Amino acid sequence: MVAKNKTAETAADVKDFINSWVDNEQKKADSFQLIELMTQWSGFEPRMWGPTIIGFGSYHYKYASGHEGDAPVLGFSPRKAEFSLYVYVPTDENKRLLEELGKFKMGKACIYVKKLADINIPTLEKLCKESIAYVNNHYGI
């Protein structure tokens, strides 16, 4: 039996989620700005993935281990302490772009940002578009 991926697309309303989950006005404004930007950059409408991730588009992946599932092409979550941006794939271009991004912390596969004012939005756009191209080339969108 294959384990079910915990983060799956849901029918929850994105605006309702932000208005009920995010208790900081700046983070709310940044969330709505990220939705606008990621919708524009990806061409996909925002959808909830699991209880707290806002994703754009989706693709199906399958690892050599046999694990497979669906994931958003781009996404973010307005966590209490900071934003988790799911926009990174490990290409040489993205590694270079991180140097221009601004103030952030890097996790295994996501970028943590306190507020949008801390980062360079045109660089974030390039990171997102590089990641979209990578996902499209490797998995097809």
What CATH number should be reported for the domain holding residue 89? Answer: 3.90.1150
Within a domain: 7: no
> pLDDT of 46-99, one tens digit each?
999 999 999 999 998 887 888 888 999 999 999 999 999 999 888 899 999 999
* CB contact set of 9 (below 8 Å; sequence gap of 6+): 47, 48, 49, 55, 58, 70, 72
Within a domain: 6: no
**69 vs 41, more confident:** 41
Q: E-strand spans in 30-140?
A: 46-49, 53-56, 59-62, 68-71, 74-78, 83-86, 105-106, 111-113
Q: Which two tokens stand for residue 45?
A: 């409408």
- Predicted local confidence at residue 2, as pLDDT: 46
Within a domain: 89: yes
State the pLDDT confidence band at 44, using cuts at 50, 70 and 90.
very high
Cβ–Cβ under 8 Å, residues 56 and 75: yes
**Strand 83-86 with 74-78, pairing:** antiparallel
- For residue 81, what is the enclosing H or E element? none
Within a domain: 98: yes
Containing structural domain, residue 131: 14-139
The total number of structural domains in the chain stands at: 1
Within a domain: 70: yes
Q: Is residue 1 scored above 80 in pLDDT? A: no
Within a domain: 79: yes
Q: Is residue 135 scored above 60 in pLDDT? A: yes
The least confident of 19-23, 59-63, 95-99, 112-116 is 59-63
Within a domain: 47: yes
Within a domain: 2: no
> pLDDT of 4-15, one tens digit each?
566 788 899 999
